Structure 1
Amino acid sequence: MDESKKQTVSAIPSVDTMPKVTGIGGIFFISDNPKETKEWYAKNLGLDINAWGSASFESRNVNKPEEVNSLQWKPFKKGDDYFAPSKKEFMINYQVQNIEALVAKLKENGVTILDEIASYDYGKFVHIMDSEGNKIELWEPKL
């Protein structure tokens, strides 16, 4: 292969579509009084609580500076069904890519998948359980 063809081939950006976690999408935890907890964080730490009852933290992807990522922070009332069947007081939302292939891989690995992939205007979601009984939310943002 001559040099000009090598340069053309190497200049083509590769697109990573491997099914995997790409970041943290949210941190959710149980609170005895979510309203008071949100008010405390707003008053003392300056969190801006949005219409969904969470705070959003935005950042840029270092490898794709035009891409803005969002991490959600939200306390939930003790006993909230959103954490079931986990008995833990926290849940992490992981941002992922290629959620369909990731779920297929997880099924092959015997991971408990709690629901079907659900699509919304802001992305796709599915819930799984890890080996310690922690419910995990996987989110593929809509780009």
Structure 2
Amino acid sequence: MAKILGLGGVFFKCKDTKAYQDWWKTHMGVAVSEWGAMEWKSDGKSFTLMSPFSDDTEYMQPSTAQFMINLRVDDVAGMLEKARAGGAKIVGEISDEGYGVFGWFIDPEGVKIELWEDKP
């Protein structure tokens, strides 16, 4: 039976792909492949989802992008500090929702990034 197995990637336009890749590599420790993709392998514990939001949601503010990227991390506070050190704007306060800890920042292209530290 044919079925979707998970998210294969997020593809988007940006003003300067090299500078964008370099920022993520330098400040957030994300490896960049020879062909320019930022990739990592799943730990097999968490999941990936795709979730539509209402057109009038405020959840992705202050970004004006039509999307937000959620990244699974092992230390929200530590990753926010890396983002801050790289010049990113931190948005709001770290939030513990019981099923995970969340934090947010705006990346160099103005996209809101949500960090999610899963709870076992």
TM-score when normalising by structure 1 = 0.51
> Where does the alignment leave 5 or more consecutive residues of structure 1 unmatched?
1-18, 22-59, 62-66
Q: Which whole-Å CA distance do the structure 2 matches of 1:141 and 1:105 have between them?
A: 19
Change in 2 beyond 3 A, CA 1:135/1:97: same
Q: What does 1:13-52 correspond to in 2, within 5 Å?
A: none
The structure richer in helix per residue is 1
The structure richer in strand per residue is 1
Q: Identity across aligned pairs (percent)? A: 35
Query: Per-residue CA shift, 1:100-133, capped at 9, x if unaligned?
Result: 2221222222210001111121111011101111
* Displacement of 1:72: 2.1
Larger radius of gyration: 1
Which residue of 1 is the match for residue 77 of structure 2?
A: 100
1:87 corresponds to 2:64: yes
* Structure 1 counterpart SS, 2:48: strand
* Displacement of 1:20: 5.8
TM-score when normalising by structure 2 = 0.60
> Where does the alignment leave 5 or more consecutive residues of structure 2 unmatched?
1-27, 31-41
* Displacement of 1:79: 2.2
The Cα RMSD (Å) is: 1.9
Q: Which whole-Å CA distance do the structure 2 matches of 1:123 and 1:101 have between them?
A: 15
